[in-house]
């Protein structure tokens, strides 16, 4: 297991979920490439 920050772990989990299931979508405020103010969409 590699070391990663909390933000990297969340982004990685999103990537895995979206790769495995094409029906996964993300809804919310400030969802985008940069992830909003905190640089992470969670």
pLDDT band at 16 (very low <50, low <70, confident <90, very high): very high
Q: What is the 3-state secondary structure (H, E, C) of the chain?
A: CCCCCHHHHHHHHHHHHHHHCCCCCCCCCCCCCCCCCCCCCC
pLDDT on residue 40: 76
What does the pLDDT look like over 19-30, one tens digit per residue? 999 999 888 777
> Which sequence spans correspond to the domains of the chain?
1-42
pLDDT at 6 over 70: yes
Q: How remote is the C-alpha of 14 from its chain's centroid?
A: 4
Tokens of 38: 């905190």
CA distance 29 to 19: 22
């Amino acid at each position: 297991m590699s070391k990663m920050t909390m933000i990297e772990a969340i982004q990685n989990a999103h990537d895995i979920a979206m790769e495995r299931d094409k029906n996964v979508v993300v809804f919310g405020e400030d969802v985008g490439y940069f992830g909003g103010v905190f640089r992470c969409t969670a």
